[in-house]
Amino acid sequence: MSTAIDTKRLPEETVELLSRMGVDPANLSDGTLAAKSPISGKTIASIKEHSADDATAMIGAAQDAFKAWRRVPAPRRGELVRLLGEELRAHKDDLGLLVSIEAGKITSEGLGEVQEMIDICDFAVGLSRQLYGLTIATERPGHRMMETWHPAGVVGVISAFNFPVAVWSWNAALAFVCGDSVVWKPSEKSPLTAMAVEALFKKAQAKFGEDAPAGLLQVLQGGREIGEVLVDDPRVPVISATGSTRMGRQVGPRVAQRFGRSILELGGNNAAIVAPSADLDLALRGIAFAAMGTAGQRCTTLRRLITHESVYDALIPRLIKAYGSVKIGAPTDAGTLVGPLIDKDAYDTMQRALEEAKAAGGIVHGGERVLAEEFPDAYYVQPAIVEMPKQAGPVLEETFAPILYVVRYSSLEEAIDLQNGVAAGLSSSIFTSDLSEAEIFTSAVGSDCGIANVNIGPSGAEIGGAFGGEKETGGGREAGSDAWKAYMRRATNTINYSGALPLAQGVKFDVE
């Protein structure tokens, strides 16, 4: 079997990878934060954690950096992001492999994640010349009115283990061209990939020159407490947090309390509808990728399959067969399609959900632990399909594991109600060849999610669109489209170039 790495030598491989990307190996041992690999479940490095005081000082340094960076013209700021993109290209294989080691993603997904970083850098470079404001018709004679966009300040980025580097880049590439500095709190489950990205960013910064202030990127390593310092600091006007809905429920109000702005990308209990006219071969492939990819640990993972009763028997047995034949194993082994769960907690949560599903009348296919002998401390599972009598119980919850619940429907209206009938609505899709159904699904009366796809699964969103839009949070926005506006503040400027009095408001004061 060909492997990209020797899984018996994970700590050594990790140190080699990190030092190739510019991280000093001395910083990878003797720390209090244990970095583990879900491939083996074992510790692969231990790094320094930051204290609350460190965090406060680092936010201060980021604020100083912001004050200098906002003076640098935006297209020049874009040059820094272009250089970052070059570093990422040069180190794509190393960083992709490190993502596999630290997050358990299969090789193509680890590389794909780095590619998304490169793509958003390209996007942001172009954007650095397009931070447009409008010129607005004014009612006052001899005046001009316009809007201008200014950098917001320090942007706090809190990211999750499952996209340990791409999420940072969707935020940071935009923030940097917008003139902001960034304080990043990566998940404590994926500190090493953050160290690698920090090192690559420093390389880009060194090439860029002195007009990029030293404190532009700060990486806060540690647990939840350190994230809270960031969330509560009034010097951080924008907090972009990706993670569970539970985490978002805490972060959102805390940021709002100090009138900060939050961009929340939270969980997704995502569904696909398979309509009578669906191309079933296409649907099968789309479903398999969206439901089993990243071992069900994407926020866009397909978790609910709403299948028309007329195609149920043609589709579901084939899907169960495909699930049974999928190759599970070390994510860096050639041919592996499903890697490990992140940790034991994830495994326990999955098993609990399957028990609840059984209790609610579900028929469970798969779901059991595998490879326990080879990897006693790691958690590999057979992805599960659960045929449910109705959408109830655990189907209403997002479980961050490869479980696909299947329910039947008979009318499109019912299917859309089912699709919209859960709390964490992030991404959605319909497989249909019926134009009218496709249009209804994407219309105002269709899917209520921030992502609504036709004939592709709910996952694998590209960076050109605005990512996300979890319905409970009113729609977070990251990456493309006009997401950049969340990293800036808008000012409206009115300029009187004629000496004309502002008669429009009607009141005229006599002043001598």
Just list the catalytic residues: 265, 299
Binding of residue 208 to ligand UN1 (CB under 6 A): no
Q: Provide, rounded to whole angstroms, the least separation between the CB of residue 451 and ligand UN1.
A: 8
Q: Is 400 in the site for ligand UN1 (CB under 6 A)?
A: no
Binds ligand UN1 (CB under 6 A): choice among 40, 171, 242, 399: 242
The whole-angstrom separation of Cα 427 and Cα 429 is 7
Q: Which residue from 77, 298, 408, 471 is in contact with ligand UN1, where contact means CB under 6 A?
A: 298
SS3 of 108, please?
helix
Structure tokens of 179?
Answer: 């003139």
159 forms part of the interface with ligand UN1 (CB under 6 A): no
**Contact status: 37 vs ligand UN1 (CB under 6 A):** no
Our CB check for ligand UN1 shows the closer of 183 and 461 to be: 461
- 483 makes contact with ligand UN1 (CB under 6 A): no
Identify any residues that bridge with 328 across adjacent strands, giving them in sequence order.
338
Examine residue 171 and tell whether it contacts ligand UN1 (CB under 6 A). Answer: no
475 touches ligand UN1 (CB under 6 A): no
Least distance to ligand UN1 from the beta carbon of 346, Å?
A: 14
Closest contact distance (angstroms) between CB of 298 and ligand UN1 is 4
The reply to whether 299 sits near ligand UN1 by the rule CB under 6 A is yes
Q: Which is nearer to ligand UN1, 40 or 162 (CB)?
A: 162
**Are the CB atoms for 171 and 478 separated by under 8 Å?**
yes
Whose CA is closest to 289, among 452, 463, 457? 457
In the complex, minimum distance from the CB of residue 259 to ligand UN1, in angstroms, rounded to a whole number? 27
100 lies in the site for ligand UN1, by CB under 6 A: no
> Helix 191-208 to helix 10-20 angle, to the nearest 10 degrees?
20
Q: Which of 365, 369, 371 is nearest to 387 (CA)?
A: 365
CB of 203 to ligand UN1, least distance (A): 25
Does residue 300 touch ligand UN1 according to CB under 6 A?
yes
The conformation of residue 471, written as its DSSP 8-state character, comes to G
CA–CA gap between residue 48 and residue 29 (Å, rounded): 8
One-character DSSP codes across 313-338: HHHHHHHHHHHHH--BS-TTBTT--B
Residues 446-465 that bind ligand UN1 (CB under 6 A): 459-461
Closer by beta carbon to ligand UN1, 300 or else 332: 300
Asked if 239 and 262 touch (Cβ cutoff 8 Å), the reply is yes
**Tally of CB atoms within 10 A around 482:** 10
Q: 407 with 304: CB under 8 angstroms? A: yes
List interacting residues with ligand UN1 (CB under 6 A).
162-163, 242, 298-300, 459-461
